[in-house]
Amino acid sequence: MKYKNKRSSNMGKIIVLTVGLLAIIGIILVFSYTPEPDKENVKTLNMEGQPTIGEKNAKVQIVEMGDIMCPACKVWSLQYFPVIKEKYIDTGKANFSFTNVLFHEEPSKIGAQAFEAVYELYPDYFWDYVHNLYQAQPETSNHDEVWVNQDVVVDVAGKTIPNFNKDEFNAKMNSREVLDQISKDDSLVKEVGLKLTPGIFINGVELTDPFDMDKINELIEEGLK
């Protein structure tokens, strides 16, 4: 009888451990699951006046909605954008537009003003400036750490743009045309109901996971057919 009780006890432990393991696996699957992009919910994105690179009449339109304060946007801009640019934009298969997101209010707005000022005054250096300003984001930055300010955006501009005019740049940042463009960006972001950054759209379809390169390639290739 003792042996049988011990055997039953061991079996009970095995059952408990198995159930616990299955529960853990289930939790992992739930939290790692990323739903498919909603291809039926296509957004109409008017990128007129927005910084755009690539063939104007390309079959594929890629839009990034980014916030300079967003660490994930930094990763996307520095690691994913160059790959997409080389494969699809430089080859004339897609064009790419950028829209400012103001999720972090004043710091985001300063970054957006700087982006727009560079685009207005030095359009040939816009994408270099975006890259370099994201590079200036601290490696340990989180969403709440304020690092963007006037001195930073001016310093990065001066290091990026030959013959940079600081006074002209500061004036342009606060100009009506730049402020109007930022307001237009903000309205577009709210119109599409963006919740997280970076928001990546391919022919109007929003990526549920902007870091899923396989899905990015899939949607672009579908658009090229």
pLDDT tens for the chain, residues 1 to 225: 444 555 555 656 566 566 555 545 444 333 334 567 767 778 889 999 999 999 999 999 999 999 999 999 999 999 999 999 999 999 999 999 999 999 999 999 999 999 999 999 999 999 999 999 999 999 877 767 899 999 999 999 999 999 999 999 999 999 999 999 999 999 999 999 999 999 999 999 999 999 999 999 999 999 999
Cα 221 from Cα 93, distance rounded (Å): 9
Q: What is the distance, to the nearest Å, from the Cα of residue 219 to the centroid of all Cα atoms in its chain?
A: 17
Tokens standing for residue 46: 């008017």
Tokens standing for residue 41: 């919910």
pLDDT on residue 73: 97
pTM comes to 0.82
**Fold that domain 52-224 belongs to in CATH:** Glutaredoxin (3.40.30)
Cα 209 from Cα 213, distance rounded (Å): 9
pLDDT on residue 25: 47
* CA dist list (Å): 178 to 50, 108, 166, 185: 11, 14, 16, 11
Sketch the domain layout of the chain as residue ranges.
1-33, 52-224
